[in-house]
A = this chain, B = another copy of it.
Amino acid sequence: MMDQGLASSAPTPGASFTVAAPPDRRARASSGDLTDLYAPILDDLLSAQRIFDQELISDLPFVNELCATIRTYRGKMLRPALLLLAAKACGGVSKSHHTLAAVIEMVHVATLVHDDVLDEADERRKQPTVGAMAGNTAAVLLGDYLISHAFHLCGILDDHYALRRIGKTTNTVCEGELLQNVQRLRRDLTEKEYFDITQRKTGVLTATACELGAKLAGADDATVEALSDYGLWCGVAFQIVDDVLDIVGDEKQIGKTLGRDFSLGKLTLPTIHCLANAAPETAAALRDALTASDSCGPGRLRDWLAETDSIEYARSAARAYVADAVRQLDILPPSDAKTSLISMTEFVVRRRF
């Protein structure tokens, strides 16, 4: 994954905010889209980024070096952008919003760091190395360091509502991750169970981002609730597309190995749909391949999913969720931030990285 600076087009020269974007032309066009979407809050996003970076500065040089490695995890900055756009659309962005945007991103990056530990643990089943072990240990601790700093940052805010919502949200995210882990080897996972996991592990964080953006901008209860729902459905759609891209994405554009869900035995919407709708022999082959995960190449999986049009089924589910999300925005008066929130839903379903 390469970093392509958004900072060059930003009004604050030398700022460290970057949007990870792949190098080919089509991808650059997507990154351009994102820059346009973020335009109403680009300065605020840079402020949040500075708070994020400053919070992690340690008196131990090696900790600073370790934290530098998480730059590769900072991709689209989607969650802080949603929080700031929601704030702008509801009255205006304050310093508390910058801090909360940094908190939300820090929580998100911590989950990515620990997710990688969990994934690595399984990859290591095939080839254990001491180097991978040392990396694993540091990654558990780095994730803890990020979670701790996220809450430490919350302490700077003089806002108990925000603190309680963040605490409640991270509780739910952890439950979602635990739920996903315990359901991982089940072959009869239902769509309902998939959506329950997805809401908990991904949806609630984007919901809270939008909710707090609105709430701290002084929005009324109905607007806060609408923005929370917008964030929830956006997050669920984002996760569905993430799961689709794990099967049919382009590794270079996404910047990570494809097929991770499948090799970990995780069912996602496309595979759940295929198992439920395929001819018995296809379903049996898919089930067998999931059990002996690495015996199936991505090509065979795509062929099976094509039989039931399951990728398109998942994409259409994502489109339905963002349509619901957009309807929530009717409560807002017109603004450039509202326009960006609407366009963001298009990005969520159209994105290739």
Q: Measuring CB to CB, which residues of chain A are less than 8 angstroms from any residue of chain B?
A: 58, 60, 62-63, 66, 114, 117-118, 121-122, 124-125, 128, 130, 133-134, 136-138, 140-145, 147-149, 151-156, 158, 160, 163-164, 166-168, 170-171, 173-175, 177-179, 181-182
Contacts and interface: CB of A to CB of B under 8 A. Distances in A.
B171 A149 contact: yes
Contacts of A182: 62, 138
**Chain B CB within 10 A, most for which of A66, A142, A151, A175:** A151
A93 to B, nearest CB: 23
Contacts of A124: 128
Nearest to A164: B155
Given A128-B128, A149-B167, A154-B163, 13 more contacts: A58-B175, A62-B178, A62-B182, A138-B181, A138-B182, A140-B143, A141-B181, A145-B174, A148-B171, A149-B171, A152-B168, A154-B167, A156-B164
20 contacts: A58-B175, A114-B144, A117-B140, A121-B133, A121-B136, A125-B130, A125-B133, A141-B177, A145-B174, A148-B171, A149-B167, A151-B151, A151-B154, A151-B166, A151-B167, A151-B170, A152-B167, A152-B170, A154-B163, A155-B167
**Chain B CB within 10 A, most for which of A134, A140, A153:** A140
Given A114-B140, A125-B130, A130-B125, A63 B155 contact: no
Contacts of A122: 133, 137
Contact of A147 (B121, B138, B142, B144): B144
Contacts of A178: 60, 62-63, 66, 138, 141-142, 145
**Chain B CB within 10 A, most for which of A143, A148, A163:** A148
A293 B232 CA distance: 50
A8 to B, nearest CB: 33
Q: Is the interface of A mostly helix, strand, loop or mixed?
A: helix
Contacts of A171: 145, 148-149, 152
A144 B177 contact: yes
Contacts of A134: 181
A170 B279 CA distance: 54
A125 B125 contact: no
A17 B149 CA distance: 31
B170 A148 contact: yes
A21 to B, nearest CB: 29
A192 to B, nearest CB: 15
A179 B151 CA distance: 21
Contact of A181 (B137, B143, B147, B181): B137
A128 B130 contact: no
Contacts of A177: 141, 144
A253 B148 CA distance: 33
Nearest to A158: B160
A189 to B, nearest CB: 14
